[in-house]
Amino acid sequence: MDFKTDEFLDEGYYNSYMLITEKISLDALILDDMKRGSFTFLMHDPFTEPSAKTVQKIINHFAEIEEYEICAELKLLLDQNIFI
């Protein structure tokens, strides 16, 4: 993958993390991206509850880039069995 693709993927994972943990609403995220002249990238469908498998993939991504606090936060949610 090229640098730009990696950047888009990182942004998608981070945006999904922000939505899943309810740190931002979808409307606010889209508005922020529009103000920056950017598209909104996500790693899950924002209109349905993400699956446990998807959340685990997001955790794996953040583990690869050593963002362990994000991993821990998502893991706590995953352990609550709130995902389909």
**Predicted confidence (pLDDT) at residue 61 exceeds the cutoff of 90:** yes
Q: Mean pLDDT over residues 12-18, rounded? A: 98
Using CA atoms of 22, 25, 31, 32 in order, give the dihedral in degrees to the nearest 10: -10
Per-residue confidence (pLDDT) for residue 3, from 0 to 100:
64
Q: How far apart are CA 61 and CA 28, in angstroms?
A: 24
Confidence of residue 38 (pLDDT cuts 50, 70, 90): very high
Which is nearest to 13 in space by CA: 51, 70, 53?
70
Give me the mean pLDDT over the 47-74 stretch.
Answer: 98
Task: Please report the pLDDT score of residue 5 as a whole number.
Answer: 85
Percent of the chain at pLDDT exceeding 90: 89
Helix axes 3-20, 26-35, angle to 10 degrees: 150
Q: What angle do CA 21, 51, 64 make, to 5 degrees?
A: 65
